[in-house]
Amino acid sequence: MTATSLTPKSPVRVRIRANRLILYTVLVAVTGLFLGPFGWLVLTGLKTPAELASAPVHWVPAHIQWHNFADAFDLIDFLGYARNSLIIAFVYAGLVTLSSAWVGYGFARLSAPGKKTLFGILIGSMMLPQMITLLPTYLIFAKLGMVDTYWPWVLWGLSSAPYLVFLFRQFFAGLPRELEEAAIVDGCGYGTIFWRIFLPQSWPVLSASFVIAFTWTWGDYIAPQLLLSTDRSTLAVAVMTTYVSSAGTPITNLQAAASVMYVVPILLIFLVAQRGFVAGMSTSGLK
Partner 1 sequence: MTVDQMSTVADRPRATASAGRTRSAGRAGATMTARRHRAFYMFVAPWIVGFLLLTIVPMAYALWLSFTTFDGISPNWHYVGLGNYRELMNDSVTWDSLGRAGLFAVVSVPLSIVAGLGLAVLVNRPIRARGLFRTLLYLPAVVPPVGAGIAFKNLFDQNAGATNGVLTFFGFDAIGWLADPYARYVLIMTVLWGAGNIMIISLAGLQDVPRELHEAARIDGASAWRTFRSITVPLLSPVLLFQTVTGVIASVQTIMPMLLAPLATTGGLTTVPQSNYTYMIHVFSQYFALGRYGYASALLWVLFVLILIATGLIFRFTSGVVFYNVDPEAKK
Q: Based on the number of CB atoms within 10 Å of its own CB, is 18 exposed (0-12), middle (13-18) or buried (19 or more)?
A: exposed
User: Could you give the angle at which helices 115-125 and 78-109 cross, rounded to 10 degrees?
Assistant: 150
**Residue 115, amino acid:** K
Q: Among 2-10, 66-74, 175-183, 199-207, which window interacts with partner 1 (CB under 8 A)? A: 175-183
Asked if 200 touches partner 1 (CB under 8 A), the answer is no
Asked if 31 touches partner 1 (CB under 8 A), the answer is yes
Asked if 44 touches partner 1 (CB under 8 A), the answer is yes
Instruction: Say how many CA atoms lie within 13 Å of 74 toward its Cβ.
Output: 5
Asked if 192 touches partner 1 (CB under 8 A), the answer is no
Q: Between residues 12 and 127, which has the closer beta carbon with respect to partner 1? A: 127
Q: Among 63-71, 76-84, 201-209, 233-241, which window interacts with partner 1 (CB under 8 A)? A: 233-241
Asked if 13 touches partner 1 (CB under 8 A), the answer is no
Q: How far apart are CA 227 and CA 219, in angstroms?
A: 15
Q: Between residues 3 and 247, which has the closer beta carbon with respect to partner 1? A: 247
Asked if 51 touches partner 1 (CB under 8 A), the answer is yes
Instruction: Say how many CA atoms lie within 13 Å of 32 toward its Cβ.
Output: 6
Q: How far is the CB of 139 from partner 1 (least distance, A)?
A: 7
Asked if 233 touches partner 1 (CB under 8 A), the answer is no
Instruction: Identify the CA nearest to 102 among candidates 151, 159, 153.
Output: 159
Q: How far is the CB of 125 from partner 1 (least distance, A)?
A: 7
Instruction: Give the CA dihedral 12, 18, 23, 29, nearest 10 degrees.
Output: 180
Which residue in the set 16, 29, 53, 62 belongs to the binding site for partner 1 (CB under 8 A)?
A: 53
Q: How far apart are CA 202 and CA 175, in angstroms?
A: 10
Neighbours of 231 (CB within 10 A): 10
Q: How far apart are CA 137 and CA 76, in angstroms?
A: 29
Q: How far apart are CA 194 and CA 197, in angstroms?
A: 6
Q: Between residues 36 and 204, which has the closer beta carbon with respect to partner 1? A: 36
Asked if 284 touches partner 1 (CB under 8 A), the answer is yes
Q: How far is the CB of 153 from partner 1 (least distance, A)?
A: 12
Q: Among 6-14, 63-71, 73-81, 183-191, which window interacts with partner 1 (CB under 8 A)? A: 183-191
Residues 75-134 that bind partner 1 (CB under 8 A): 99, 102-103, 105-108, 110-113, 115-116, 118-123, 125-134
